[in-house]
Structure 1
Amino acid sequence: MAKKDTFRVVTRGSDGSILIRDYPNCDPLSKMHMQIGTDDCSTDLDLRGMPVFRGLIGPMPEGKTIVRYETPEVFEAMTKEWTHAKPRRRTRRPSVKNAEAAAT
């Protein structure tokens, strides 16, 4: 398992833009937000024991080495975008057998 060594905080700016800030450890987050617990149920075992902060949603895995935290507004917006995104349609290549049958 890869070690999670980057802490990413995603917030929304006053103009509505997405702001991303990366930290090398959780100390700056501990100074800005009150820790209210530790994650003990994540399916990503690297996240277990990571801090849970008041006012942030997370920890969430992002890639192999990033722990992501989001404000509730960003979490809600990203979730809505994700649920409304249409899945890409895959086109099937006709099999040789079906292509021969269609040609005759």
Structure 2
Amino acid sequence: MAKKDTFRIVTRGQNGQLRIKDYDNAEPLLKMHIQVGVEDCSTDLALRGMPIFRGLIGPMPEGKNVIRYESPDVFESLTKEWSATKTKRRRRTAKPDHLTSDASADDASA
């Protein structure tokens, strides 16, 4: 399991653009934000025990070694963008003829 050692805070600046700031440890975050708990149920085991801050969404994994926190407005807008992207759907392919004819023969014998 890779050690997550970069704390990334993503907020929106006054001009509307995303602001991303990386920190080497949680100390600066603990000085800027109020810790309200610790992550204890993430499926990413490396996130368990990471701080939860009032006013930030996270922690969430980003890559192998980044712990990401987002402001609520960034989380909402990025989630809406993500959910609006169309995924390429695979169509079912027709069954091969030998499978189709076997099924017809089974139905006829029943």
**2 CA distance for matches of 1:65 and 1:88?**
29
**2 CA distance for matches of 1:57 and 1:49?**
15
Q: CA deviation at 1:89?
A: 5.5
Does residue 94 of structure 2 align to residue 68 of structure 1?
A: no
Q: How many positions carry a matched residue from both structures?
A: 94
For residues 13-52 of structure 1, the aligned pairs below 5 Å read 13-52=13-52
Larger radius of gyration: 2
* TM-score, length of structure 2 as denominator length: 0.80
| Deviation by residue 1:8-67 (Cα, 9 ceiling, x = unmatched) | 000000010001000000000000000000000000000000000000000000001000
- For residue 86 of structure 1, give the secondary structure of its aligned residue in structure 2: coil
**1 CA distance for matches of 2:76 and 2:2?**
28
After superposition, the CA RMSD in angstroms is 1.7
**2 CA distance for matches of 1:35 and 1:6?**
18
Moved over 6 A (4+): none
| Deviation by residue 1:53-94 (Cα, 9 ceiling, x = unmatched) | 000000000001000000000000000000000114669xxx
The equivalent residue for 2:83 is 83
Query: Which runs of no fewer than 5 residues in structure 1 stay unpaired?
Result: 92-96, 98-104
The equivalent residue for 2:2 is 2
* TM-score, length of structure 1 as denominator length: 0.84
Query: Which runs of no fewer than 5 residues in structure 2 stay unpaired?
Result: 97-110
Amino acid of the structure 1 residue aligned with 2:9: V
Amino acid of the structure 1 residue aligned with 2:40: D
